Chains A and B, each alone.
Chain A
Amino acid sequence: MAIHSLRVIVYTAKMNLIMTWRFFSWTGFALRFFSPIMTLGAAWVLYSQVYRGALSQEFGDAVGKSGYLPFITIGNAFFVFVFAAAFVVGRVMFWERTTGTIEATFMSPMNRLAYMAGVMVAAAADALISFTTVFIIGLAFGTQIASFNAPLFISSLLLTAFALFGIGLMANAITLTFRDRTTTANTLTILFMVFSGIVCPVELMPLWAQQISSILPLTYGIRLMRVSLLGIKTYNIISDLATLLILGAIYVGIGALTLRLIERNLKKKALFSVF
């Protein structure tokens, strides 16, 4: 069973990577970076032109001596990674339905989670390219890396990808039920973008925003990423790693359960591809 699932993961990832390569478009690739470039550009203008580097004491207390621009660059690079990885997984069933292959997919004896994991592996590989690209763009805006803690960097990427996999599973359940793609994706994007601490430390946000951010895995993922690359000493790494792991397990559990329930319901009512 485990070997069968592993084969599903490998071949699904292979198929998705081939599809990505076959339909690669430079326009689509470039569009991914519009939002991060805009944020980096805006942050640069605010920092160097509007406020002339006058950062608040609270910012210094939260992130130590790491600069504002590296802080923003890492947040944006990580967000692009999340966007590229989570939303591919979240739209799998929508595209299966659109291309008319959803019934065949669900008729096959493969493990659904293994299939989704295969998509996630391919998407994460693609997302790493985006992550690196934004990072290189950030260097042009004056970002400098203070340190590199490789084990923490890799574990934060993997654990965040694991949690995002769970969110992707839930998004599939939503798109399958409501036959919607854009609204779900936009809502999730806004939620992650605003409350994960991409552009300011979570500690500086109002209390209600901090409460929302505490249940988002990206909050901890970004924080760990910043610790690994900027050497920030103010965060509790063990606690963040543990929280990210627990949140990931909860999201994957809920995602797997909802997907199974939705599949059963859609089969029962014959609503897979026909309205």
Chain B
Amino acid sequence: MFFRVILAEIRKSLKQYFFSSRTMVWALLLPLGNGLYLYFLYLPFAVKSVNLEFNSANFSLDLVGFTLIGQLLYSFFTMMLLAGSALDVERQQGTLETVLLSPANRLAVLLGGALANALNYIWLLIGILLSWVAFLNVNILINDLLALLASISLSYLSLIAIGMCLEALSLHSRRGGMYGTTLQEPIMFLSGLIFPLQSMPRALLPLSYLLPLTFGLISVRLTLLAGASMVDVAIPLAVLASMAVIFFTLATWMIGHAERSAKAKATLTQF
């Protein structure tokens, strides 16, 4: 039953949004545009590479790769933030009460929505990556394929989990879309997307470490662009795995709480 609900949600979302103009803009145009913007931000400087320090090691990364690859992962994160407004959409369509009246597992509904968004994006991600390597000369250096796959999978899982938390928050607050949009800029700054984390003002570092994107960016950049091995990225991978578990647990609790609260106050659809 749990998996059937997930599959049904995925199917529904893919039918609605697969290859839509929305997907094209958010998954294709936005990462390329933002990636180029970040790349151009670096052009006035004399040095054309980026040093990424992590765990007492220093990796020199190609500038195009640093900015564009980071942007790909960030766009995936944005898709997850937008998934946070899925229940708002159900509410606007007038179908939220029906969804919650059904015996479908709430977590499965949320997971299905988040997975659909992820699936919608993943095929584009692969295509974009290959085209950038071919046309923009991104220097790829993979020494440990397993470490790369683990980095991508764990980043993917932890970002889906945080997307589910936002969905629950959206049900509770009715401002999922606004939160999703508002959070984008601070997250871009704090996650180390624009510049390497070692240059972040120290006072802001604790906030950076709360974001799964921060560790996702470190592990994916190092394994894809600097040939890092599983040992090099063991810490960020462990943090990503922990975050996935914590955020999934939190999402389960939050959705139950939000639903109970909305039912008790009769505010599921009415304000």
Contacts and interface: CB of A to CB of B under 8 A. Distances in A.
Contacts of B36: 194, 209
B25 A200 contact: no
Contact of A38 (B47, B185, B201): B185
Interface string A162-193: 00000000000000000010110011001101
Contacts of A31: 181-182
A99 interface: no
Contacts of A186: 25-26, 29-30
Contact of B41 (A37, A46, A55, A190): A46
Contact of A205 (B40, B181, B195): B40
A59 interface: yes
B43 A194 contact: no
A42 B45 contact: no
A4 to B, nearest CB: 39
Nearest to A202: B40
Contact of A187 (B25, B41, B188, B200): B25
Contacts of B22: 182-183
B199 A49 contact: yes
A60 B39 CA distance: 18
Interface string A84-107: 000000000000000000000000
A216 to B, nearest CB: 13
22 contacts: A31-B181, A34-B182, A34-B185, A38-B188, A42-B41, A46-B194, A46-B195, A46-B199, A50-B50, A51-B45, A51-B46, A54-B45, A55-B44, A59-B43, A186-B29, A190-B30, A199-B40, A200-B40, A200-B41, A200-B43, A204-B43, A209-B36
Interface of B: 21-22, 24-26, 29-30, 33-34, 36-37, 40-47, 50, 181-182, 184-186, 188-189, 194-196, 199-201
B63 to A, nearest CB: 12
Given A51-B47, A186-B30, A187-B25, A194 B37 contact: yes
A48 to B, nearest CB: 9
Contacts of A49: 195, 199
B40 A56 contact: no
Contact of A45 (B29, B45, B50, B200): B200
**Contact-size category for A:** 35 or more
Interface string A43-65: 10110011100111111000000
Residue of A54, A186, A204 ringed by the most chain B CB atoms within 10 A = A186
A232 to B, nearest CB: 14
Contacts of B185: 34-35, 37-38
B46 A56 contact: yes
A39 interface: yes
A42 B195 CA distance: 7
Given A38-B194, A59-B45, A183-B24, 6 more contacts: A31-B181, A42-B189, A45-B194, A55-B46, A198-B37, A204-B44
B130 to A, nearest CB: 20
Contact of A200 (B24, B26, B44, B186): B44
B37 A54 contact: no
B64 to A, nearest CB: 11
Contacts of A45: 194-195, 199-201
Which 8 A-B residue pairings sit nearest by Cβ, starting from the closest? A190-B33, A34-B185, A59-B44, A49-B199, A200-B43, A42-B194, A199-B41, A38-B185
A41 interface: yes
A182 B22 CA distance: 8
B67 to A, nearest CB: 11
A49 B188 CA distance: 18
B183 to A, nearest CB: 10
A201 B33 contact: no
A55 B199 CA distance: 17
Given A38-B189, A183-B21, A194-B36, A56 B29 contact: no
A194 B32 CA distance: 10
A43 B22 CA distance: 30
A153 interface: no
A131 B116 CA distance: 40
Interface in A138-173: none
Given A34-B186, A38-B189, A46 B29 contact: no
A199 B45 contact: no
Given A55-B46, A190-B29, A38 B186 contact: yes
A56 B40 CA distance: 13
A59 B44 CA distance: 5
Contacts of A46: 41-42, 45, 194-195, 199
Contacts of B47: 51, 54
A209 B35 CA distance: 13
